[in-house]
Amino acid sequence: MMFDVEKIRKDFPILDLRVNGKPLVYLDSAATSQKPLQVLDAVRNYYLTSNSNVHRGVHYLSEQATIVFEKARKTIASFINANPEEIVFTKNSTEALNLLMYSYGMSKIKEGDRIVLSEMEHHSNIVPWQQLAIRKKAELSYIPVNKEGILEENAFSLMEKASITSIMHISNALGTINPIGKMAPLAKENSVFIVDASQSVPHMPIDVKKLGCDFLVFTGHKMLGPMGIGILYGKKELLEEMPPFLFGGEMITEVHKYSSKWSTPPQKFEAGTPDVGAVIGLAKAIDYLSSIGMENIHSHEKELVSYALETAPENVEIYGPKDSSKRAGILSFNVKGIHSHDLSTILDSEGIAIRAGNHCAQPLHEKLGLPGSARASFYLYNTKEEVDALWKGVEKAKKLFGV
């Protein structure tokens, strides 16, 4: 299928907005993506025609809601080559990682066990494991990042004695694509390998079996879906062993005055009423992405980031791999003499939306000796003209600051 960005943009009315009198240039999809009409219509249609609680009623609306809800689970599972019973619905990647920390970590980790992360992790993939290490008196180790923003492969051996390794697939701050396929086999037999795929599932083809991970998490709002829906993929045998994370309705088969019995996965981990509309919206987002082709989307973003690297103005320091083949469509940078927050404010006056700060990756910025950085992130609806607008806005900021 031919990739037609102008046709794609017509599905996103928000891109026609004007900000401060200027056309909106949205370069913050790593924080959250915009939503196409097809997704918005799917959520609206659910509330108009099928709104009901799932799994609980035998009336028509409840049955219809349950059918579309479980059909959505199959769509999501197929997208990453998993089985439906291996897909657990959460609110976001953060909740999915916390579920793993509580359900797997608290039941399996013992004093002295090793937990391995990397220095580039998002706070959501650091803080839960910090808390587990503190509570269980476990050892917390980090795979270092070099000056180019690439993991030091000679430190991958840390994983060989780890009980848990949890690594992001793509850095939300640098765009670095980590060699997950090379890392997964290094985990020892009695450990688990967790992948935070929040920045990869939305942007490139993902097959959990080929990755070799035990668990994988991602979030719907970064991939054209609604907010409030995240996914935990887990191997069936591991989910069956794990105790529940939350307790209440939906996750039980029997409740008596002094005892209860849990459902099987994935329902065991889905206590309470789910956000059915968000689940349906995510499935529709996946249909939309699949119709365009994940390889096409990945290639388009690589073309954009390559173009951005080639056309960057003087005095712009870009972080992460210099080789565009090793990075996704994320570009973090600073302009010498301008604080990233000031730069973001000036760009906003030009209608350009970027992120500024530490991008929930403070340890990484500390390692690189940076107080923060500006970040432009690209998606399927962005164009080279928008890259030009970004650098034009940077040139305006340089003139204002005299740098």
What residues are annotated to the active site?
A: 360
Query: In angstroms, rounded to a whole number, what is the distance separating the alpha carbons of residues 328 and 315?
Result: 23
Query: In angstroms, rounded to a whole number, what is the distance separating the alpha carbons of residues 293 and 118?
Result: 30
Query: In angstroms, rounded to a whole number, what is the distance separating the alpha carbons of residues 271 and 119?
Result: 33
- Whether residue 226 contacts residue 198, with contact meaning beta carbons closer than 8 Å, is answered with no
Query: In angstroms, rounded to a whole number, what is the distance separating the alpha carbons of residues 160 and 352?
Result: 45
- Whether residue 192 contacts residue 104, with contact meaning beta carbons closer than 8 Å, is answered with yes
Sequence-ordered list of residues with C-beta below 8 angstroms from that of 399, at least 6 positions apart, any chain: none
The DSSP-derived string for 173-203 is: TT-BB--HHHHGGGS-TT-EEEEE-TTTTTT
Query: In angstroms, rounded to a whole number, what is the distance separating the alpha carbons of residues 328 and 199?
Result: 9
Residue 75: both structure tokens together: 């769509």
The DSSP-derived string for 199-254 is: TTTTTS---HHHHT-SEEEEEGGGTTS-TT-EEEEE-HHHHHHSPPSS-SSSSEEE
- Identify the CA nearest to 217 among candidates 235, 231, 200, 234: 231
- Identify the CA nearest to 361 among candidates 32, 96, 118: 118
Query: In angstroms, rounded to a whole number, what is the distance separating the alpha carbons of residues 74 and 51?
Result: 20
Beta carbons within 10 angstroms of residue 272's beta carbon: 10
